Amino acid sequence: MREARENLQEALELFFEQAPPEEQERRFRREVYVTNLNIAVG
């Protein structure tokens, strides 16, 4: 789980470093979506 979080953080940092302001604005949303997932393992 930690690695997935770190990967997401890195992807977002790269996006904000590299994407032009117009692209950032186009993708930015004020709403936040958070949910739990039940994952079957094994």
What secondary structure does DSSP assign to the chain, as a single string? -HHHHHHHHHHHHHHHHHS-HHHHHHH--S------------
For residue 22 the two structure tokens come to 């117009």
CA angle, 12 then 16 then 20, to 5°: 140
Average pLDDT, the chain: 91
Domain hosting residue 6, numbered range: 1-42
- Looking at the structure of the chain, the number of domains it has is 1
pLDDT attached to residue 30: 83
pLDDT attached to residue 22: 95
Q: What is the pTM of this model?
A: 0.61
pLDDT attached to residue 17: 95
pLDDT attached to residue 27: 87
| pLDDT tens digit sequence for 10-42 | 999 999 999 999 999 998 888 888 999 898 988
CB 24 within 8 A of CB 16: yes
